[in-house]
Amino acid sequence: MKLYNEHYPAPNPRKVRIFLAEKGLNIDLVHVPMRDRAHKTPEFLAKNGLGQLPVLETDDGRFISESLAICRYLEELHPVKPLFGKAALDKAMIEMWIRRAEFRLWMPMSQAWRNDDPRTEAVVKTRFKEFGQYSRTQVAEAMNWIDRELGDGRPFLAGHGFSMADIVLLCGVDFAKFVNMPIPAEAANLQRWHAAVSARPTARA
Amino acid sequence: MKLYNEHYPAPNPRKVRIFLAEKGLNIDLVHVPMRDRAHKTPEFLAKNGLGQLPVLETDDGRFISESLAICRYLEELHPVKPLFGKAALDKAMIEMWIRRAEFRLWMPMSQAWRNDDPRTEAVVKTRFKEFGQYSRTQVAEAMNWIDRELGDGRPFLAGHGFSMADIVLLCGVDFAKFVNMPIPAEAANLQRWHAAVSARPTARA
């Protein structure tokens, strides 16, 4: 099994690396340098027609795209220390918070990156700058909303235990910072959460 | 248990209703008329702070938001006739295709609806019309891409069996039509798939 990977700050491969580290799993990493557009070559497009990272290649030569599909697959094979929850309601809460982090934070974050960051200007053909700027306000709103949600004192996004929802939020928050959207100073609960999950050794995976 | 619901064409509650019908499950439906902004009242916001439908209320008074989290929860409680797959690789493929349908089709579809449909003009405060129009071209591209993917002759989006991925795609394609983005005439594989899944009695749930 191997994982086609790109280094930090690429947020999607990072989710899988942190997941692997939390589970104590080792998989061969194959570096696909996005800066050289290696993810858009015919060779790579044969693995994922969308030209996106990460991709997992199974031992029998099947390819799985989408970081969450990869992590769920690995959780199926290695159920010990579940990161998608164990009881039905825990699983539901984790899935709910994964999606809320994606739709509320990741989605406008991606739009800011595509439409309003000088580093994507050369590769994104059609940009909507005002929409990208508006997306930045949506990211700040999302962070403030999550901050209020964490105000009930729970240590992790989906409840008492560290989960995939924390991995999704961490990689989103850190990439947002890379796109010049740091956590607002007044979002003390989110700051506290971020310090705690960043202090886990797996955050450096 | 009860499901806070809105009628067709609201695409998110429809996913859950089709899922329930495919599983042969019955849950009380509580109508929350979005046209009257009933999903933005303090009473409903106490169930889902994001003011979105559907929401599942469990028998012990817990609330689950996000249609996919609700369906996964119900699949946990009622594993017979799995719609998220059974073997690890099937599960991975279904999750991959759910996410591809969401990120490629649903995302620009929502942006076209928010930014370029006269029916949302009164409620969406900040609109980006050109971005909405561009999103329409992204929806057409997504449909043509899925059409090519279905060109290998597989009957369903994630492979041989009907799955949650088909439910996600069906509700997306039908809502796209409601926003004046029908399946392109030349997308014969997608047309064939759409006719087949629409002919299932559950499509009317």
Give the pLDDT band of residue B150 (cuts 50, 70, 90).
very high
Q: Which residue has the tokens 């999750």?
A: B95
Contact list in B for residue A95 (CB cut-off 8 A) is 66, 68-69, 72-73
The whole-angstrom distance between A128's CA and the closest CA on chain B is 7
Segment A37-48 mean pLDDT: 96
Query: What would the mean pLDDT of B13-33 be, rounded to a whole number?
Result: 97
What distance in Å separates the CA atoms of residue A72 and residue B134, rounded to the nearest whole number? 33
- Nearest by CB to B66, from A100, A107, A145: name it: A100
Classify domain A88-204 at the CATH topology level: Glutathione S-transferase Yfyf (Class Pi); Chain A, domain 2 (1.20.1050)
Domain with CATH 1.20.1050.10 in chain A: 88-204
User: What token pair was written down for B170?
Assistant: 């069906």
Residue range B193-203: average pLDDT? Answer: 98
Mean pLDDT of chain A: 97
In this prediction, residue A191 carries a pLDDT of 98
Q: Is B124 within 8 Å of chain A by CB?
A: no
How many CB atoms sit inside 10 A of residue A10's CB? 18
In chain B, which residues fall in CATH 3.40.30.10?
2-77
In the prediction, which pLDDT does A55 show? Answer: 98
The two structure tokens encoding residue B119 = 């029916």
On chain A, the residues whose CB falls within 8 A of the CB of B96 are 64-66, 69
Homologous superfamily, domain A2-77: Glutaredoxin (3.40.30.10)
Q: Closest by alpha carbon to B106, among B66, B75, B74?
A: B66
Evaluate whether B178 touches B98 at the Cβ level (below 8 Å): no
Beta carbon pairs, A and B, within 8 Å: 83
CA distance A87 to A91: 6
Q: What's the pLDDT at B129?
A: 97
Q: What is the pLDDT of residues A135-179, one digit of tens each?
A: 999 999 999 999 999 999 999 999 999 999 999 999 999 999 999
Name every chain B residue with its beta carbon within 8 A of the beta carbon of A55: none
The share of chain B scoring above pLDDT 90, in percent, equals: 100
The tokens for A2 are 């191997």
Token pair 């962070």 is found at A143
The answer to pTM > 0.80 is yes
Residue B19 pLDDT level (bands cut at 50, 70, 90): very high
The residues in A 74-93 lying below 8 A from B, measured between CB atoms, are 76-77, 88-89, 91-93
**pLDDT of res. A28:** 97
**3-state SS, residue B131:** helix
φ, ψ (nearest 5 deg) of residue A174? -70, -35
User: What percentage of chain A has pLDDT greater than the value 70?
Assistant: 100
Strand partners, B74: none
Summarised one tens digit per residue, pLDDT across range B88-120 is 999 999 999 999 999 999 999 999 999 999 999
pLDDT band at A108 (very low <50, low <70, confident <90, very high): very high
Predicted pLDDT of residue A185: 95
Cis amide linkage into residue A54, ω under 30° from 0: yes
pLDDT band at A194 (very low <50, low <70, confident <90, very high): very high
Share of chain B above pLDDT 70, in %: 100
Segment A4-30, tens digit of pLDDT: 999 999 999 999 999 999 999 999 999
B22-57 b/e (C-beta count within 10 Å ≥ 16 → b) = bbeeebebeebebeeebbeeeebeebbeeebbbbbb
A69: nearest CB among B99, B131, B145:
B99
Which letter does DSSP use for residue A161 in this model? S
pLDDT at B85: 98
Q: Can you tell me whether residue B44 is helix, strand or coil? A: helix
Distance of CA B41 to the CA centre of its chain: 24
Does the distance separating the beta carbons of B126 and A64 come in below 8 Å?
no
> Residue A85 — pLDDT band, cuts 50, 70, 90?
very high
Strand segments, DSSP code E, in chain A are 2-5, 28-31, 55-57, 63-65
What integer pLDDT is reported at residue B201 of this predicted model?
97
CB within 8 Å: B88 and A77: yes
- Taking all residues of chain B, what is their mean pLDDT, rounded to a whole number? 97
Question: Measuring CA to CA, which residue among B160, B179, B67 is closest to residue B118?
Answer: B179
B170 Cβ neighbours under 8 A, 6+ residues apart: B18, B194, B197, B198, B203
Neighbours of A148 (CB within 10 A): 12
- Asked whether the beta carbons of B53 and B34 are under 8 A apart, the reply is yes
Q: Using DSSP, state whether A196 is helix, strand or coil.
A: helix
Residue A126 exposure: Cα atoms within 13 Å on the Cβ side: 8
